Amino acid sequence: MNSLNIVILAAGKGTRMYSDKPKVLHHLAGKPLLQHVLDCASELQPQQICVVYGHGGEAVPQAMQGYPTQFVLQEPQLGTGHAVQQAMEHLDDGSRTLVLYGDVPLTQHATLHQMQQIQQASDGLVLLTVNLVNPTGYGRIVRDTEGDVQRIVEEKDATPEQREIGEVNTGILLAPTEALRSWLVKLQNNNAQHEYYLTDIVAMAVEQGIAIHTVQPAHTWEVEGINSKTQLARLERTWQQEQAVRLLEQGVTLADPMRIDIRGSLQCGHDVEIDIGCIFEGKVQLGDGVRVGAYSVLSNATIAQGTQIAPYSHIDGSAVGADCRIGPYARLRPGTVLANQVHIGNFVEVKNSEIAAGSKANHLSYLGDSTVGSRVNIGAGTITCNYDGANKHRTVIGDDVFIGSDTQLVAPVTVGRGATIGAGSTITRDTPEDALTLSRSKQQTVPGWQRPTKKK
């Protein structure tokens, strides 16, 4: 029995979230709660992943379209046992089934792998439990005098003595699929909630003499569920603190570990320094000796060694070479590629452009859809006019060009190698190499001109 099914219960309405959005689509660390669970589940390489959804209609399947997942609607919602029943027709009996929860986002692969190993060795039922100082609201694990699990009692059905038990059920379990199927059809709803509890299968397993094992996670936050914005905010800070500790242990210098947000993955080389308030989204890589200034935002970016990013800079979908200087208040938009020793200064925006080694745009400029050579100096206030109102066009600037302040380069246009453009010029035609070009004509209106239309 090597194949694995994973059933993710994601049908809850999340009334206490006070939102029209399904609870499992609220974000933690930059992605939906359910996506965290799906990513962890995918690491286990299951044969089948089945998501049981309910409230929110098709919003949940639509949001998770990129995953090879079977979505099953639970309507009406009659409890966790009823939810798992909806998925059973998609599961093969000759396998094992792991039940996870779409609103418990941070369960770790190592914990689930441990459950797998125990189940493979015993072919029994494996429960993920945790000991809590305050177990209020959770089902209690009831054991006999020898310490064997006998059943799970939900709090609303528990006696005062049972409510004193600190070991609680997380809801996450792993069972042989064939046995699980047989237990589910026997579930009754004779309880305070009149629901079909998945936890009732534990007593059935005990009655049949099936071995019941328990695993506990390394961290209690792995099994924390989200039912309110307060809980979401608390778990967000817990997870950010965990990631900060991981970076510190790897040698990264954090100005304040409490003021960093990682909403994706962040890989750092040696001697990286990160100031306060920085946000890292998607996949970000920082090379050796990189320094990131306060309140900068980096999304899906690669920063090579020795580069310094001054405060309040935004870098999105870009690759920055070694020993560059970025910011403050710089913006690199998707498609930007900077070679080594490039300077992009304050209030400079670069989009979909390649800038070769040693070039500088230090002040108040816009470079869009451009190819810039080496050792180019872009004067303050220079812009590439890449958009004619309907279509984008490219600007090419050769090596060793000097462009004076307040210049407009009206694309498509090429500035020849070694050219100098006088300040205040509007360049509408290609300029020759190694020559000074000026354009300071009197204002005029062009009769009969028509705005371009978008090409099909």
129: domain CATH number? 3.90.550.10
| pLDDT the model gives residue 443 | 64
Asked if residue 455 is part of any domain, the answer here is: no
Is the peptide bond preceding residue 328 cis, with omega within 30 degrees of 0? yes
Same domain, 255 and 191: no
Same domain, 217 and 331: no
Which structure tokens are listed for 301?
């970016």
Pairing of strands 149-153, 140-143: antiparallel
Same domain, 374 and 254: yes
Q: Are 291 and 304 in contact (CB under 8 A)?
A: no
Q: Which residues pair with 140 in a beta bridge?
A: 153, 168
Cβ-based burial of 133 (10 A; exposed 0-12, middle 13-18, buried ≥19): exposed
Q: What angle do CA 178, 182, 184 make, to 5 degrees?
A: 115
Asked if residue 456 is part of any domain, the answer here is: no
| pLDDT the model gives residue 12 | 86
| pLDDT the model gives residue 256 | 97
Neighbours of 444 (CB within 10 A): 6
Is the peptide bond preceding residue 160 cis, with omega within 30 degrees of 0? no
* CB hemisphere CA count around 357 (13 angstroms): 3
Number of domain units in the chain: 2
Same domain, 192 and 314: no
Neighbours of 155 (CB within 10 A): 15
Which amino acid makes up residue 211?
A: A
**Burial profile 406-429: b = 16 or more Cβ within 10 angstroms, e = fewer:** bbbbbbebbbbbbbbbbeebebee
Looking at residue 392, the DSSP 8-state letter turns out to be B
Same domain, 114 and 218: yes
3-state secondary structure of 88: helix
Same domain, 101 and 210: yes
**Domain end call among 185, 202, 223:** 223
Q: Are 187 and 199 in contact (CB under 8 A)?
A: no
Q: What angle do CA 62, 66, 68 make, to 5 degrees?
A: 105
Asked if residue 445 is part of any domain, the answer here is: no
Instruction: Please provide the distance, in angstroms rounded to a whole number, between the alpha carbons at the two ends of the chain.
Output: 56
Which structure tokens are listed for 183?
């237990």
| pLDDT the model gives residue 455 | 82
The residue range of the domain holding 328 is: 229-437
**Alpha carbon distances (Å) from 303 to 47, 292, 322:** 38, 10, 7
Same domain, 212 and 242: no
**Burial profile 345-381: b = 16 or more Cβ within 10 angstroms, e = fewer:** bebbbbbbbbbbbbbbbbebbbbbbbbbbbebbbbbb
Looking at residue 90, the DSSP 8-state letter turns out to be G
**Domain end call among 223, 255, 280:** 223
Asked if residue 55 is part of any domain, the answer here is: yes
Length of the chain in terms of residues written:
456
**Domain end call among 173, 206, 223:** 223
Same domain, 204 and 285: no
Asked if residue 444 is part of any domain, the answer here is: no
**Alpha carbon distances (Å) from 254 to 51, 115, 245, 292:** 38, 35, 10, 10
Give how far the C-alpha of residue 386 lies from the chain's centroid of Cα atoms, to the nearest Å. 32
Q: What is the full per-residue pLDDT of the chain (456 aa) written as tens digits?
A: 569 999 999 998 889 999 999 999 999 999 999 999 999 999 999 999 999 999 777 899 999 998 999 999 998 889 999 999 999 999 988 899 999 999 999 999 999 999 999 998 888 999 999 999 999 989 999 999 999 999 899 888 899 999 999 999 999 999 999 999 999 999 999 887 888 999 899 999 999 999 999 999 999 999 999 999 999 999 999 999 999 999 999 999 999 999 999 999 999 999 999 999 999 999 999 999 999 999 999 999 999 999 999 999 999 999 999 999 999 999 999 999 999 999 999 999 999 999 999 999 999 999 999 999 999 999 999 999 999 999 999 999 999 999 999 999 999 999 999 999 999 999 999 999 999 998 977 767 678 877 678 887
Give the DSSP H/E element, type plus range, for residue 37: helix 33-43
- % helix / strand / coil in the chain, to the nearest 5? 20, 30, 45
Asked if residue 85 is part of any domain, the answer here is: yes
| pLDDT the model gives residue 154 | 87
Asked whether the CA dihedral 381, 311, 277, 302 is positive or negative, the reply is: positive
Same domain, 379 and 233: yes
CA gyration radius, the chain: 30
Same domain, 180 and 284: no
**Alpha carbon distances (Å) from 3 to 47, 91, 177, 330:** 6, 10, 10, 51
Q: What is the CATH number of the domain that holds 414?
A: 2.160.10.10
| CA 415 – CA 428 distance, rounded (Å) | 10
| CA 37 – CA 23 distance, rounded (Å) | 13
Asked if residue 138 is part of any domain, the answer here is: yes
- Active-site annotation, residues: 363
Is the peptide bond preceding residue 412 cis, with omega within 30 degrees of 0? yes
Asked if residue 452 is part of any domain, the answer here is: no
Same domain, 198 and 294: no
Which structure tokens are listed for 406?
């307040």
Asked whether the CA dihedral 56, 59, 60, 61 is positive or negative, the reply is: positive
| pLDDT the model gives residue 451 | 63
Which amino acid makes up residue 138?
A: Y
User: 């699929």: which residue's tokens?
Assistant: 177
Same domain, 170 and 279: no
